[in-house]
Chains A and B, each alone.
Chain A
Amino acid sequence: MKNICTIIAIILIQFVWAQDTNPEKKEMEISFNNLEVPNTPAFILLDEAPTSIQRPNSTRAFALDLIQDVTEDGVLGNLAVEVTPFWMIQHTHMTPEKYYGIKTQEDGSVSQNFFSKLRLASVSAAYMKSADSITNISIGVRTTLFEIKRQDDIKDYKEALLQAQKYLNNSANYMEQYNTQCKIPKPENYRSETAFQEAMLTYKGICDKPEPPRPTVGATDEEIKKYRAAIKEYRLACYCPPDPRDYDTTAQFEAAKEWYEAGLNTFREKKREEDDFTAKDLDVAFKEITSRKPLFAIDLAAAYNQRFFGNTFNDNTAGRFGIWSTLTLSSFLDKKKTNRDYFNVYGFVRYLDDTRRGIFPAANNDRFNAFDLGVKGELEFDKLSVAYEYINRSGDMEGYRSVGTIRYQLINDIFLTGSFGNNFEETDDLVTLFGIKWGINGALQSISIPQSN
């Protein structure tokens, strides 16, 4: 246990460091730091998770799950970790559209890739010790097989993406943008305000005309001299920044440069404020859209458990194996969708292959199979969700699970869960679980937005 904690601590430290990314780089990426932190399949297999029926819309790069049955001794002694390998790898060819599971066709229509979430499969491992000195080690895997998004959500995502690309193209170079619009005379070059105003009228005319024609190679000195005089006048009127060739003295050039830099700095400050606002605004928009639950989804999960008796490594036997699927239908509580509150209905089906607890070594006739069928209703508000689930077990094992669950997001990364009810067994079947989940964002938990041409 001590070694497990040490390994987890090392991983966590790496993740915390990894989150300190370059803020300038972030402006060009969609960062997914608000992903969900669900119960791990490794816990669900053992019927020890606060809820067995759950379908996360997303998972973070790394999550830590601590659970305690409040009727037993100990403090959060059951532990699970969940890792999403997708967020551990730099995806250089992953586009925001591909990640979201949509594709823009040549005719401009958008099609869905119903299987896009397969790549976000997660793996988990759990440690749990029971009162009868049995240590359970479980491993699990989960993915979304299929999902259907709402057309409104796809449209909003596409619009946010177009806005982001427009912003990136515009904010590429402030100096270039400023020069494009600063074609005005420089007042310090004139003796008086009146002279400057008169020049403004004249120069406007110059800038509206094409540049003086350039002589070709081999032109006479006279032609070149004439061209230089004409282009000097044009540059003074129409070019930014000032060109040292156009000023008779260094003092004149320095004055023009000062005038130019003051204008550029004012422009740059204004653009930075606008861009900062735009970047934050876009970040919020993407987070909101990608966190919306799909209309319909089917998840698949599987887990395996090995039991160890009396703290002895060699005294172990195959425990439980389970494979299950969760079907989810989500609808907004508010028809206008101003609040992201949902009513979720789940269907759950699971096959279990298990051995009787406490039998070592387990023979073939100690094993038995069971089939679970369940439903769940959930009301999900901003940070709070309340749910009730019922699962009927049939086959070699019989029983039911009837559990109410409450979940609260304390801060962005920490979630508290509690559940109470009946948990399958005929005796010792009271569920009184309290858990803390900590989701940790990885440094690679983002997708780059390409600049459009």
Chain B
Amino acid sequence: MDTYKVDDSAKHVKIDVKVGTTGSAETRVYLDTITADNRICESDDASNGNIPATKAGINRKLFLRTLIVNTSLNFSNIPDSAVKDAIKMTHIIYTLDGGPQGEKPFNNLDAIVNDSDISSVEITKRIEFV
């Protein structure tokens, strides 16, 4: 699992998500669990899953917590047979900034893909603050 260093400061850590896909996308960002109580932010309807730099929390309060970025993809605009390839071609860049490591990009290569229902594919990325 990817990690991002935090320090004892009260400086904000920010998350930025950029989604490149042939389908339509929605992204939601959580801390620790994918539940409504822990949702930090979500993409706007017109953004196709992209989230501009948004505060995730302050450095010292994020220590040992896990940032979970869940992107739901909808490929109803392409044939079912092409969905697998479309998932493979989906690239997501998650960028964290505000910690001692500064701006650090992550990709979705180690993200967990739930494609058991191709009408609603989920890509879940975890980054631990250490």
Contact = CB atoms under 8 A, between A and B. Distances in A.
Interface of A: 24, 173-177, 179-180, 214-218, 224, 227-228, 231, 239-241, 243-245, 257, 261-262, 264-265, 268
A217 B35 contact: no
A261 B8 contact: no
A218 B63 CA distance: 10
B97 interface: no
A262 to B, nearest CB: 8
Interface in B17-40: 28, 32-36, 39
Which among A179, A180, A217, A231 has the greatest number of chain B C-beta atoms within 10 A? A217
A285 B74 CA distance: 29
Contact of B116 (A180, A215, A265): A265
A239 B114 contact: no
Interface in B86-130: 112, 114, 116-117, 120, 122, 124, 126
B84 interface: no
B124 A176 contact: no
Nearest to B34: A179
Given A214-B64, A216-B63, A244-B112, A175 B70 contact: yes
A24 B24 CA distance: 12
B60 interface: yes
Nearest to A211: B32
Contacts of A179: 33-35
A20 B74 CA distance: 19
9 contacts: A176-B34, A176-B36, A215-B63, A217-B7, A217-B8, A218-B8, A227-B64, A261-B116, A268-B117
A243 B126 contact: yes
B82 interface: no
Nearest to B115: A261
Contacts of A177: 36
Nearest to A181: B35
Nearest to B30: A176
A173 B63 contact: no
B56 interface: no
B69 to A, nearest CB: 13
Nearest to B62: A217
Contacts of A228: 64
Contact of A217 (B39, B63, B114): B63
A228 B66 CA distance: 12
A176 to B, nearest CB: 5
Contacts of A215: 63-64
